Amino acid sequence: MSVALVGAGPGDPGLLTLRGAELLADAEAVVYDRLAAPALLDLAPPGAERIFVGKAPGDVAMTQDAINQTLVRLGAAGKRVVRLKGGDPFVFGRGGEEAQALERAGIEFEVVPGITSAISAPAYAGIPVTHRGLSTHVTVVTGHEDPAKERSDVDWEALAAAGGTLVILMGVARLEEIAARLLAAGRSGDTPLAAVARGTRPDQQTRRSTLGEVAEGGLPALSSPAVIVVGEVAALDLSWFEKRPLHGRTVVVTRAREQSSGLRRRLETLGARVVELPTIQIEDLPFELPELTGYAWIVFTSANGVSAFFERGLTASGLDARALAGSKVAAIGPGTADALAQRGVIVDVTPERFVAESLLEALPADGRGERVLIPRAEQARDVLPDGLAARGFGVDVLPVYRTTRAEPDAADLDAVRNGEVDCVTFTSSSTVWNFRDAIGDLGDVTPDVVSIGPVTSATAEQAGLPVTVEAAEHTIDGLVAAVCDLLGTKR
Question: Does residue 234 belong to the site contacting ligand SAH (CB under 6 A)?
Answer: no
Q: Which of 13, 20, 75, 93 touches ligand SAH (CB under 6 A)?
A: 93
Q: Which of 117, 429, 431, 451 touches ligand SAH (CB under 6 A)?
A: 117
Under rule CB under 6 A, how many of the chain's residues touch ligand SAH? 23
Segment near ligand SAH (CB under 6 A), from 175-183, 224-232, 234-242, 459-467?
Answer: 224-232
Cβ nearer to ligand SAH, comparing 92 with 241? 92
Q: Which of 24, 31, 226, 421 touches ligand SAH (CB under 6 A)?
A: 226
Beta-carbon contacts of 45 under 8 Å, excluding residues fewer than 6 positions away, are 25, 26, 27
Question: Does residue 385 belong to the site contacting ligand SAH (CB under 6 A)?
Answer: no
Shortest CB 2 distance to ligand SAH, Å: 21
3-state SS string for the chain: CCEEEEECECCCHHHCCHHHHHHHHCCCEEEECCCCCHHHHCCCCCCCEEEECCCECCECCCCHHHHHHHHHHHHHCCCCEEEEECECCCCCCCHHHHHHHHHHCCCCEEEECCCCHHHHHHHHCCCCCCECCCECCEEEEECCCCCCCCCCCCCHHHHHHHCCEEEEECCCCCHHHHHHHHHHCCCCCCCEEEEEECCCCCCCEEEEEEHHHHHCCCCCCCCCCEEEEECHHHHCCCCCCCCCCCCCCEEEECCCHHHCHHHHHHHHHCCCEEEECCCEEEEECCCCCCCCCCCCEEEECCHHHHHHHHHHHHHHHCCCHHHHCCCEEEECCHHHHHHHHCCCCCCCECCCCCCHHHHHHHCCCCCCCCEEEEEEECCCCCHHHHHHHHCCCEEEEEEEEEEEECCCCHHHHHHHHCCCCCEEEECCHHHHHHHHHHHCCCCCCCCEEEECCHHHHHHHHHCCCCCCEECCCCCHHHHHHHHHHHHHHCC
Question: Does residue 196 belong to the site contacting ligand SAH (CB under 6 A)?
Answer: yes
Site for ligand SAH in 156-175 (CB under 6 A): 169-170
Cβ nearer to ligand SAH, comparing 34 with 312? 34
Catalytic residue among 55, 88, 422, 448: 55
Q: Which of 6, 10, 421, 479 touches ligand SAH (CB under 6 A)?
A: 10
Site for ligand SAH in 13-42 (CB under 6 A): 35
Buried b (16+ CB within 10 A) or exposed e, 386-413: ebbeebebebebbbbbbbeebebeeebb
User: By beta-carbon distance, which residue lies closest to ligand SAH?
Assistant: 87
Site for ligand SAH in 348-377 (CB under 6 A): none
Shortest CB 122 distance to ligand SAH, Å: 9
Segment near ligand SAH (CB under 6 A), from 89-97, 251-259, 335-343, 430-438?
Answer: 89-97
Question: Does residue 225 belong to the site contacting ligand SAH (CB under 6 A)?
Answer: yes
Question: Does residue 305 belong to the site contacting ligand SAH (CB under 6 A)?
Answer: no
Segment near ligand SAH (CB under 6 A), from 196-204, 308-316, 346-354, 465-473?
Answer: 196-204
Cβ nearer to ligand SAH, comparing 117 with 279? 117
Shortest CB 44 distance to ligand SAH, Å: 20
Of 124, 267, 91, residue with least CA distance to 200 = 124
Cβ nearer to ligand SAH, comparing 30 with 35? 35
Shortest CB 239 distance to ligand SAH, Å: 15
Q: Which of 55, 83, 187, 198 touches ligand SAH (CB under 6 A)?
A: 198
Quick check: is 441 catalytic? no
Cβ nearer to ligand SAH, comparing 75 with 87? 87
Quick check: is 243 catalytic? no
Quick check: is 1 catalytic? no
Catalytic residue among 12, 88, 170, 448: 170
Cβ nearer to ligand SAH, comparing 173 with 383? 173
Cβ nearer to ligand SAH, comparing 196 with 253? 196
- Answer yes or no: are the C-beta atoms of 19 and 71 closer than 8 Å: no
Question: Which residues sit at the interface with ligand SAH, rule CB under 6 A?
Answer: 10-11, 35, 86-88, 91-93, 116-118, 121, 169-170, 196, 198-201, 225-227
Question: Which residues are part of the catalytic machinery?
Answer: 33, 55, 170
